[in-house]
């Protein structure tokens, strides 16, 4: 896994990924130094995020490396289908994936990070 810290209008973002795609973009609360070197596997993701924050991009076209249980992956893939500028409730999302009773599980999956093989400790 590769990691980079970049400044965004929302604060410092930690971007993690590998050759298969980004695994996570997280806004962090600490004052991690901005990366002076961006790993090649993260450059497209960082460039697209920059364009998004500049208002020049409304869709992303890069592979995402989603790792989680099948239900989480289903929720995350469905979230990607929400049009730019639109919102959807957890209930509507649970209906979209085929189980209106799964609203709490949908909410939990929405707030869960994709699990990854990244360990910051040597």
pTM (2 decimals)?
Answer: 0.77
Look at residue 89 and tell me if it is in a domain: yes
107 and 81 in a single domain? The answer is: yes
Beta strands in the chain (DSSP E): 2-8, 11-18, 21-27
Tell me the angle at which helices 103-111 and 70-79 cross, rounded to the nearest 10 degrees. 80
38 and 76 in a single domain? The answer is: no
Predicted confidence at residue 113, as pLDDT, reads 66
Angle, alpha carbons 74-72-102 (nearest 5°): 85
CATH number at residue 100: 1.10.10.10
Low-confidence ranges of the chain (pLDDT < 50): 116-122
């Amino acid at each position: 896994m590769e990691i980079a810290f970049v400044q965004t209008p929302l604060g410092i973002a930690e971007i993690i990924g590998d050759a298969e795609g980004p695994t996570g973009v997280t806004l962090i609360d600490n004052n991690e130094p901005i990366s002076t070197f961006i790993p090649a596997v993260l450059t497209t993701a960082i460039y697209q995020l920059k364009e998004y924050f500049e208002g020049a991009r409304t869709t992303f076209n890069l592979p995402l490396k989603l790792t989680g249980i099948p239900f989480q992956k289903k929720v995350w893939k469905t979230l990607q289908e929400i049009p730019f500028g639109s919102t959807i409730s957890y209930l509507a999302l649970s209906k979209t994936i085929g189980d209106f009773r799964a609203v709490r599980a949908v909410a939990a999956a929405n707030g869960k990070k994709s699990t990854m093989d990244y360990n910051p400790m040597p």
